[in-house]
Structure 1
Amino acid sequence: ETSLQLLARAARGSMRDALSILDQAIIFGKGKVEETGIHAMLGTIDQSYLYDLLEALIQKDGAKMLDIADAIEAKSLSFDSALQDLAGLFHSLALAQIAPGAISEDLPEYKQIFSLSEKFIPDDLQLFYQIALHGRADLGLAPDEYAGFTMALMRMLAFTPENSLGNIRISQSPSNTNQKKEMPSFDEKVNKSNINLEHTTHPALNVVTALSSDSCTNQSNDNWPVLVNQLKLNGMAKMLAQNCELKSLSTDNIELYLSAEHKHLLEKKYQDKIKIALNEHFGKHVHLKFYLGSITGMTPAELDNREKQAKQLQAIAAIESDPVVRELIDNFDAKLINSSIKPI
């Protein structure tokens, strides 16, 4: 049954392609249609690799993740396909959380999907999905595919909302996953009454700030995405602010990180407009500095993009789980064009 599921996925809904691939599989397997043979013929990734990767990610076991990458390389499997399938798995986990009915019970991995979905918070899934997509795009720029693939895995370990690089194990050791605390969502962090920023262990962000209660008029001002929305900015200056990430914030100084891909926005006139807007907002002179460097993905632009994607996923899940739509798909082999679905 699993072999037939693999053939059906490869055919992508086309009966003609399915029959053609089935004929090839029979020839390739010398009369036998088996899962290992199908994977070898199609060059696809054994799903067990992906589930093992996610279990290692949950445990923050970097060494185990690298071992799995080595095993994939040893079998000469495509790292591009691995990242594609990994993104697809993150999508399935997100659907399992938002619209469980959208996951077909006929899937061989049905139980594993729901078991894993309980171990991730929605914010994490959105972030890991983005990293997998960007990882595929970066494969052609990496020194080699192995380096590109493993760097994507390391980003998943490093760029978690917890920023807990210190908790990542570099050697395999037993772990107790029951002790893993659920991480509050980003919005919950913003709304906490204590606005003191703590030291983080991320190498690119060393935020050492303690804002006093009278340093600003709004407790959300230490949060850059919230602050950007409050500033009177437009055009390229606003775009620059939206693509920056907070490095440090004190009563008179603000330091921001900007990724190299957006360095074209770093013109003095746009910096000056942001500085003027900050002076007007705080009612005093503020020193503003920009740095080019790595970011964790918590820029206003990226957070807005994640929110839009989450709404899009919810809209797709709602349509896919609609009884009338399901009946059309089952009875008439209809297909949903996801790009045509827009959230209300």
Structure 2
Amino acid sequence: MKFLLATTDPQKLPVTVLSRCLQFNLKALSSAQLEKHLANVLASEEIEYEQQAVTYLAQAAQGSARDALSLLDQAIAHCGGKLSETEVAAMMNLVRSSQVLGLIHALLARDASALMDEMQALHDMGVDYGAVLSRLESELHQIALAKQFPGAYETNVCQDADYAALASLMSAEQIQLYYQMALVGKRDLPWAPDPRCGFEMTLIRMLSFTLDEAEQHRPITGSDEFNQDITPSAESSTHPERASLQEPRADYEVSASISQPAEAQAERQAINSVKPSAGAAKVEDWNQLVPQLRLTGLAEQLALHSSLEKGGEDHWIVRVDPAQTSLLGSQSESRLRERLQAEAGQGVRISIEASADPIETPFKRQQRDASAKLEQVKQDLKKDPMMNDIADTFGVDLEKAIIQPRD
């Protein structure tokens, strides 16, 4: 006898049960797979349906076939045996794709009157404006797919004629601009006086900002691939009120960068900020130079346990304390050499090697300074009458007490 157990919360099962089970983790189904499954169910039951209604149900199920079938049962009962887009959207309190596409058409036509009518219609429905902006982002995503990958998805909704038509009317930059504005608008929705105000200001912003003709058709080359500037429309010269709206454009510039670790970025910025010294052959005080190098991690430790000497007019030698030679031969050595090269200039050769004898280093100086400071604090405490009274009252030996000076 075999038992088949199914759950969405396996962590709630006792460990003694899980240890005796062969587990299969089932991944969520895609919306396209759920649409196909629901269509097969409807066909076998001989129930008429509109494709967009099935799309709504599949998207709402979020990858769960069980939830999709439950929603399908509710939709069949609600629609009286025939699934229509309007009825299903009303049942789930959704904004229909045709309504969101109407907003996009009004924006592209720069028709403020039509845009206001569409917004008023949404207000009359009592919609969730955050959900409308999410739907707008989804539709722009489908338009972007139709723009960049025409014919790539045989069963995807982006093959619909409406998306293909909008993709032909919009540039890739314009799609990204609207998408970014929708994201920022939804993010700032809680800070608006009310949701309707935040939603309408987002669409007005989309209506006010545009790309000039030259920018829309400019080929992307070189560094522009990772940093595309969104240029305000030339209409700003003839419409001063739009020019004022176009000034704060930093929030809506479409840009991307290759992510790097925070430590690497900090070191790269430090290298760019270090300028070659005028007297490259002159070795400055090493204790003062180390903090200026802005090193971190092991590279900083290598510098703190080293000393710098002049090996010639164009040669700097970094001697590493014999007790810290384990820091050599690692990435920290190359980072220290790179930073020193930026400080000394390209004409100076940098050598990093272990010292045969103990040497004076910034770390040893810091230790001496800290010990001297701690000793001074102890002496000051011994001379303080109030502190002596407190120590006598509580039986504290100031000689054995743990005392840390404050910076």
TM-score (norm 2): 0.43
**In 2, distance between residues paired with 1:7 and 1:63?**
33
- 1:146, CA displacement in angstroms? 1.4
Amino acid corresponding to residue 64 of structure 1 in structure 2: A
Q: Which residue of 2 aligns with 1:297?
A: 250
Give the secondary structure class of the aligned counterpart of 1:33: coil
Give, in whole Å, the separation in 1 of the partners of 2:72 and 2:153. 25
Letter in 1 for 2:255: D
Correspondences of 1:115-194 after superposition (within 5 Å): 115-162=165-212, 183-185=216-218
1:36 aligns with 2:69: no
Of residues 128, 142, 165, the one that matches 1:92 is: 142
SS at match of 2:255: helix
Cα distance in 1 for partners of 2:84, 2:54 equals 9
Contact 2:185 2:202 in 1 (8 A): yes
Whole-angstrom CA distance in 2 between matches of 1:113 and 1:26: 28
Structure 1: 5+ residue runs without aligned partners? 163-179, 192-197, 207-292, 310-344
Post-superposition shift, 1:102?
Answer: 3.9
SS of the counterpart of 2:83?
A: coil
CA–CA distance in structure 2, aligned partners of residues 92 and 56 of structure 1: 18
Shift of 1:13: 2.4
Residue 99 of structure 1 aligns with an amino acid whose one-letter code is F
Higher RCO, Cα 8 Å, sep 6+: 1
Partner of 2:132: 82
Coordinate RMSD, CA, aligned = 3.5
1:124–1:160 contact (8 Å) kept in structure 2: yes
For 1:119 and 1:58, locate their aligned partners in 2 and report how far apart those are by CA, in whole Å: 8
Q: Secondary structure at the match of 1:100?
A: coil
Distance 1:186 1:142 in 2: 37
1:24 is aligned to 2:74: yes
Structure 2 counterpart SS, 1:161: coil
SS at match of 2:115: helix
Superposed structure 1 runs of 4+ greater than 3 Å apart: 101-106, 180-188, 198-206
CA positional deviation for 1:112: 0.7
Change beyond 3 A, Cα 1:87–1:21: same
- Asked if the contact 2:145–2:158 (Cα under 8 Å) also holds between the matched residues in 1, the reply is no
Q: How many angstroms apart in 2 are the aligned matches of 1:298 and 1:134?
A: 8
1:142 offset after TM fit, Å? 1.2
* TM-score, scaled to structure 1: 0.50
Give distance in 2, aligned partners of 1:56 and 1:86: 13
Cα deviation 1:152-179 (Å, max 9, x = unaligned): 11111112123xxxxxxxxxxxxxxxxx
SS in 2 for 1:140: helix
Q: CA deviation at 1:108?
A: 8.4
Partners of 1:297 and 1:105 in 2: CA distance: 38
Please state how far the C-alpha of 1:29 moved relative to its aligned partner. Answer: 2.8
Could you tell me which residue of structure 2 aligns to residue 11 of structure 1? 61
Number of aligned pairs?
Answer: 198
CA contact (8 A) 1:123 1:185 kept: no
For each residue in 1:299-339, what CA deviation from the matched residue of structure 2 results, as whole angstroms up to 9, or x when unmatched? Answer: 8xx4433x779xxxxxxxxxxxxxxxxxxxxxxxxxxxxxx
Q: Is the 8 A contact 2:89 2:95 kept in 1?
A: yes
Q: Distance in 1 between matches of 2:220 and 2:193?
A: 38
Distance 1:308 1:92 in 2: 25
Query: Is the 2:53–2:85 contact (alpha carbons within 8 Å) kept by the matching residues of 1?
Result: yes
CA distance in structure 1 between the aligned counterparts of 2:258 and 2:203, rounded to whole angstroms:
24
Are 2:21 and 1:70 equivalent residues in the alignment? Answer: no
Distance 1:73 1:202, change over 3 A: same
Is the contact between residue 140 and residue 175 of structure 2 (CA under 8 Å) also seen in structure 1? yes
Within-5 A mapping of 1:175-324: 183-185=216-218, 200=237, 201=239, 203=241, 295-297=248-250, 302-305=253-256
Pick closer, same or farther for the CA change 1:115–1:303 going to 2, 3 Å.
closer
Deviation at 1:117, TM superposition (A): 0.3
Task: Identify if the C-alpha distance between structure 1 residues 109 and 303 changes in structure 2 by more than 3 Å, giving closer, same or farther.
Answer: closer
Name which one, 1 or 2, has greater alpha-carbon Rg: 2
**Is the counterpart of residue 113 in structure 1 residue 163 in structure 2?**
yes
**Residues 33 and 21 of structure 1: is their aligned pair in 2 closer, same or farther, counting only changes over 3 Å?**
same
2:193 match: secondary structure? coil
* Counterpart-to-counterpart distance in 1, 2:64 and 2:167: 30
Does the Cα contact within 8 Å between 2:181 and 2:206 map onto a contact in 1?
A: yes
- In the alignment, the residues of structure 1 paired with residue 147 and residue 164 of structure 2 have an alpha-carbon distance, to the nearest angstrom, of 8
1:304 is aligned with what amino acid? S
